[in-house]
Amino acid sequence: MFGIIRPCRHRLTERLLESWTAHLCGLCLALRDGHGQLARTATNYDGLIVSVLVEAQTASRPDGRRKAGPCPLRGLRTAPVAQGEGARLAAAVSLALASAKMRDHVDDRDGLFARRPVAAAAGGVAERWRRQSRTAGTSLGFDAEGLFASLARQVEVEAAAGLGSSVLLVTAPTEEATALALEHTAVLAGRPGNRTPLREVGRYFGRLAHLLDAVEDLSTDQQTGAWNPLVATGTTTAEAERLCRDAVHGIRLALAEVEMVDGTLAHRLLAHETEAAVRRVFGHAHNSWNPPPAGPNPYGGGPNPYAGPGGANPYGSPYAGGPTGNGGPGGGPFGGGPFGGGPLPPPPPPMPPQRNGLLRACGMWALLCCTCQACCREEYPNPCNGRPMHGACRDADCCDGCDCCECCECCECLECCDCSC
């Protein structure tokens, strides 16, 4: 699964959590029923926004839910899941996004995709998902060709981007594709007056998703030399954060103009979880980026302004060797090291992360998801590569600093709490 909307059960009331799970499971089952078991891997958190918006604009119908069988990710429990045109459109959009993402990895030869057999198989899957998405979208009256045309422009835009270019030029294709998808929810719901504001919601949401993905991948892209929009355009993380917060504000303003029958969940996901995503990415990622200064390095060469007479450290410890210390040649009062005998040995190199096989990694992921550790555990190793990962609720700020979880149940304007909507 991928996406920026990752609500925690601690931030949702019981009713909203049940509804969110119904849309997530409905998207997964719509992918399975319409496109095969493999297509379920295209399930993503952002795609279900389409299903949520369709339901929010229509009156409640008895055929809007169906009972699904036991699933390991639900603790082998049955549950009501969303069905209908909203779930099918969400599946078509998710397949299109997954196809574009996989094709991008194949073209960039990232990781396993650098191997020719893997790239060939992934390319075939991406092309099949593209055809299936186009067929499913056409059956719903959705302009799938326009969506794929917008996504195809991404390669040209990235190739033309350079230092000094606006990063918004890079995010424009994603904005347009997301706008087309969210705008069509008004068509399915029979509310043509909502098309313009929902198009704005989609445009800002696409910008937000693209920028947050770029910030999250920044460290990895710098290490591997992969293309990153922030590095390519010389955009700082501070500027990216400003653009993301502006996008969240734009989503809230546009969403306020959308007429909905019950927009509680849509408001929670689009107006609050987007803010939580910005805070999560910029508040905890150690991947800041600033363009290198022009000219010589301002921090290199020259005397140390904090050095004492003769270049000695005026803040030296009495346990350090030199003019201010009592130690011998090795430093320290005992001649080097904690007990003398020369300098301290270098620290041992860190242990490389342990990798697991495919079956073992899948089993570990299932265990983490079924026990909610992937969401609420402070830190856990990635079952695939062993690198440390953090749960989405490690911040202890699940309620965003107010009691929104309760008042969102009864109103949309959230005037009953201190939320800055």
Q: How confident is the model at residue 151 (pLDDT cuts 50, 70, 90)?
A: confident
Domain ranges, residue 144: 9-288
Q: Is the pLDDT at 129 greater than 80, yes or no? A: yes
Rounded average pLDDT over 290-306: 47
Higher pLDDT, 320 or 200: 200
Nearest partner of 170 among 178, 161, 183, 179, judged by Cα: 161
3-class secondary-structure state, position 168: helix
| Cα(112)–Cα(110) distance, integer angstroms | 6
3-class secondary-structure state, position 66: strand
Asked if residues 245 and 274 have their Cβ atoms less than 8 Å apart, the reply is no
Is residue 409 in a domain?
no
Is residue 108 in a domain?
yes
User: Per residue in 95-112, pLDDT tens?
Assistant: 998 898 888 888 777 777
| Cα(13)–Cα(278) distance, integer angstroms | 22
**Token pair belonging to 400:** 């965003």
Q: Which amino acid is at 37?
A: Q
Q: Is the pLDDT at 136 greater than 80, yes or no? A: yes
Q: Is the pLDDT at 181 greater than 70, yes or no? A: yes
Is residue 240 in a domain?
yes
Is residue 370 in a domain?
no
Nearest partner of 208 among 246, 162, 256, 182, judged by Cα: 246
Asked if residues 270 and 49 have their Cβ atoms less than 8 Å apart, the reply is yes
Is residue 59 in a domain?
yes
Is residue 135 in a domain?
yes
pTM above 0.75, yes or no: no
Is residue 392 in a domain?
no
Is residue 411 in a domain?
no
Asked if residues 229 and 171 have their Cβ atoms less than 8 Å apart, the reply is yes
Rounded average pLDDT over 59-70: 80
| Cα(80)–Cα(68) distance, integer angstroms | 6
Query: For the chain, what is the domain count?
Result: 1
H/E element, 67: strand 65-71
Q: How confident is the model at residue 388 (pLDDT cuts 50, 70, 90)?
A: confident
Nearest partner of 230 among 210, 250, 248, 249, judged by Cα: 210
Q: How confident is the model at residue 370 (pLDDT cuts 50, 70, 90)?
A: low
CATH number where 36 lies:
1.10.600.10
